[in-house]
Structure 1
Amino acid sequence: MLPLTDADFTRLYTYIKTHYGIDLSKKKQLISSRLTNMLIHDGYQSFSQYTDEIISGRHPEMISAMLDRLTTNYTYFLREKEHFNFLKQTVLPELAARHASDRSLSIWSAGCSSGEEPYTISMYLKEYFSALPGNWDTRILATDISQDILESARNPFYSSEALKELPALWREKYFVPVGDGRFTVSSELRQNVIFRPFNLMEPIRFKRKFDLIFCRNVMIYFDRPTKEALVERFYHATVPGGYFFIGHSEGLDKENCPYHYLFPAIYQKIAAPRPQGGDVS
């Protein structure tokens, strides 16, 4: 195993936190164990040599590979079902009423990983809005920092185990068997999700504000100031009355959170001005 000196560890985690918000300052063993084999395979003689290359910023593909190894891209279809029950029973009827004239939704899956979350959302959208009159634009934006994980999401292969929580009718309708017990998504579902690379540390400057933002099990890697600053950016990118979903393992400080707390891991941007004490900008 290549030794990771304290100096190289500090350089590496500082660079990652500064540019990507991920706090690994207490994860020296994790960095060492998850990167060593890759470094040896790629011909590096030391962590110092590798860290020099990362910090140079000349090789985005190296950064993408590093972040893939250091963060856990663990997800599955219908993860945290309570969110999708609320989506179906509350959010979608509100969106149907709000967009009755333009029939165009604005939904973002931030930190979409290998695609299970945005494809799950998309199935709910398809099921609900296909029963309404007119043609609805239900396409959703799905972003991740990793180009590699985005490529796997655009052209996915899922095991039958990954689909087990989905209704049988949905498995038949939205998935196509490709052999070896694996499935890909139907063209209808694939075309309903727009995958784009995006670093959550950057300013959020999309053309439209969002009716709903999913950012679940992403902020577990951020320290409190980074998380609060990101939530503030999400808030400004949300329409009044819009919703914000986070993971159940994540918590927001109610005193500083600009959103109104509704249920565990579900928040809303209320239409009225925020109380003065809620401003964290």
Structure 2
Amino acid sequence: MSSLSPQSFTAITDLFHRISGIRLTEAKRALVQSRLQKLAADSGESDLNVFVQKMVRGQLSEDMLVSVVDKLTTNETYFFREPAHFEDLARRAGAHRATGGAGGAGEFLVWSGASSSGEEAYSIAMVLADKLGTAPWTIHGTDLSTTVVDSARQGLYPMERARDTSKDYLRRFCLRGEGPYEGQLLIMKELRARVKFQCANLMQPLPALPLFDVIFLRNVLIYFDASAKRAIVERVIERLKPGGVLYPGHAESLAALDLPLKAIAPAIYQHA
């Protein structure tokens, strides 16, 4: 298999940027090359640069284009990443229950806006199951990649990704794999039923979604330029209830975006 030429790297990253809004830099060249090589081989093309040119010229199938987007979307994550957000979520869920839950405050709704393979959404589910129990609550998870959305719906993970999950939560909300599933965990069916996953491109009009009490939009804005970042956050907070909170990643400041958001704690913003 040939190496990816500078021209082909520019062509494929430009195409990916037009589709997703995400700009892959030169530092991602090795990642791009390695992830495209198998797709090229599977398509019967031994020259990676020819494969890229066919892709850019629209000579390959729509399914192959979807596969390329899936492959170039970074999806590595784990349960309870950036724990301060889950601590804040637990406090808010507890306060929601104290106000009456179903009888007073209604259903508690959370959106995992870049849910990847589902670890974030199921971490949220464990917190809400703990704090709200059988009261009405639902989580919506969206991601650009069809592959990881399908994986998230299964709720099956390597045990290593639960390294920051409490033993109590593992006991209550997860099943330990045995036999061919040794070293894996499965999110319990009752929790999986509370999480709805679907594909969504944050750079395009969003699917029909309710208004949320809490939105997680973490470690995704770093891939966009300032104008795209503002457009995404503006679109996302249209689905945030007045007084609801938005959690970006701790390395993602929203202060310069001039949007109706008020910083109330590190990486926690409230809809003004």
**Counterparts in 2 of 1:109 and 1:58: CA distance versus 1, 3 Å:** farther
Q: What is the CA–CA distance in structure 2 between the aligned matches of 1:101 and 1:158, rounded to whole Å?
A: 36
The answer to whether residue 89 in structure 2 is matched with residue 90 in structure 1 is: no
* 1:168 aligned residue: 167
Within 5 Å, give how 1:186-197 maps onto structure 2: 186-197=188-199
* 1:78 aligned residue: 80
Q: What is the CA–CA distance in structure 2 between the aligned matches of 1:156 and 1:50, rounded to whole Å?
A: 33
Question: What's the CA shift for 1:154?
Answer: 1.0
Moved more, 12-21 or 117-126: 12-21
| Cα pair 1:216 1:246 within 8 Å, conserved | yes
* 2:40 aligned residue: 39
Per-residue CA distance 1:79-125 (angstroms, 9 max, x = gap) = 11111111112354147638543631221101111111110101111
Within 5 Å, give how 1:124-273 maps onto structure 2: 124-130=127-133, 136-179=135-178, 180-254=182-256, 256-270=258-272
What secondary structure is seen at the aligned counterpart in 2 of 1:56?
coil
Per-residue CA distance 1:163-187 (angstroms, 9 max, x = gap) = 2322222111111122212111111
Q: What is the CA–CA distance in structure 2 between the aligned matches of 1:113 and 1:216, rounded to whole Å?
A: 11
**Counterparts in 2 of 1:203 and 1:47: CA distance versus 1, 3 Å:** same
The CA RMSD measured in Å over matched residues stands at: 2.5
Moved more, 240-249 or 38-47: 38-47
| Cα pair 2:93 2:132 within 8 Å, conserved | no
Question: What's the CA shift for 1:58?
Answer: 6.6
What secondary structure is seen at the aligned counterpart in 2 of 1:139?
strand
Aligned residues: 266
What secondary structure is seen at the aligned counterpart in 1 of 2:196?
strand
| Cα pair 1:10 1:25 within 8 Å, conserved | no
Q: What is the CA–CA distance in structure 2 between the aligned matches of 1:125 and 1:22, rounded to whole Å?
A: 32
Q: Percent identity?
A: 33
Moved more, 67-76 or 141-150: 67-76
| Cα pair 1:174 1:186 within 8 Å, conserved | yes
Spell out structure 1 runs of 4+ moving beyond 4 A.
none
**Counterparts in 2 of 1:176 and 1:32: CA distance versus 1, 3 Å:** same
Q: What is the CA–CA distance in structure 1 between the aligned matches of 2:230 and 2:257, rounded to whole Å?
A: 11
TM-score by length of 1: 0.84
Per-residue CA distance 1:16-44 (angstroms, 9 max, x = gap) = 11221111254444423432343234322
* 1:18 aligned residue: 18
Structure 1: tracts of 5 or more residues without a match: 271-281
2:157 counterpart letter in structure 1? Y
